[in-house]
Amino acid sequence: MSDSAPQIYPRFAGKTVLVTGAGTGFGAEIAFRAAQEGARVGVHYNSSKAGAEKTAERIRAIGGEASIFQANIGTWAAIKHLADEVWAEFGALDVLVNNVGDVSSEQMSWRDLKQEDLDAVIDIDVKGTLLMCHEFGQRMLDIQAHGNIINIGSTVIVRGSPRAPQYAAAKYGIVGITKSYAKVLAPAVRVNTFAPGFMETERLLNREDWKNGRREVLLAQTPMGTIPLPAVVAGTALWLATEEASHITGGYLLADGGFNMVGA
């Protein structure tokens, strides 16, 4: 999707959207897409300040509004502080996209698992996502009585991960978090998981297995015949927060070109 298109469907006109991990990759594209659709966007980052500023610049270049927030989502205190900052800045938050996550991208085999790899994934993907749902969902419920939370999951829960089992475990955990908070926050706040398949992010393109034949294998097994750029499915993720999806909560939406085809 080109940055030259200033607006697509104004599904988020007048709304506020916070995207975590929006300095790079999929998060950056979700944030930009939300701005194209009229949202005032919160761009969160932990260490990628330059990336967050670049995302904000892209948004402002098309006439959008962007605010940058920094927080380490691995700690509860930082998440509480982030929530306070977001409400102070925006006054209300319509959509939270929990995109940030650790995928152990350097680990190429389950045999290479280390304690710090396990801890990093569980702290960010499981504890961080749970506490973001907890703190932001509680404020959405108590302060404004409406909102949407989209947790970015993964298709890894379908097939598992021989490369990084802790990553598959964490993403399975996100499904449980989504269902739990979907129940406690209903009907005011909807909570869903969006699971993209492989996307050609910079991180993926630099992985050794991707450069040494895995891309071709996956392409051959994908009915749609493509491995998309993140921008291609950013709007699909945000669809879960639209009125068209108003009767979906606790759901798991797959967008992987038909690679997994789960279901009844």
Q: What are the catalytic residues?
A: 167
Q: Are 166 and 117 in contact (CB under 8 A)?
A: yes
- Report the distance separating Cα 58 and Cα 52, nearest Å: 10
Q: Residue 200 corresponds to which tokens in the numbers above?
A: 């050609």
Element holding 141 (H helix, E strand)? none
- Report the distance separating Cα 65 and Cα 56, nearest Å: 8
Chain centroid offset of residue 68 CA: 16
In 3D space, the residue among 155, 154, 101, 157 whose CA is nearest the CA of residue 125 turns out to be: 101
- Report the distance separating Cα 136 and Cα 127, nearest Å: 14
* Amino acid letter, residue 222: T
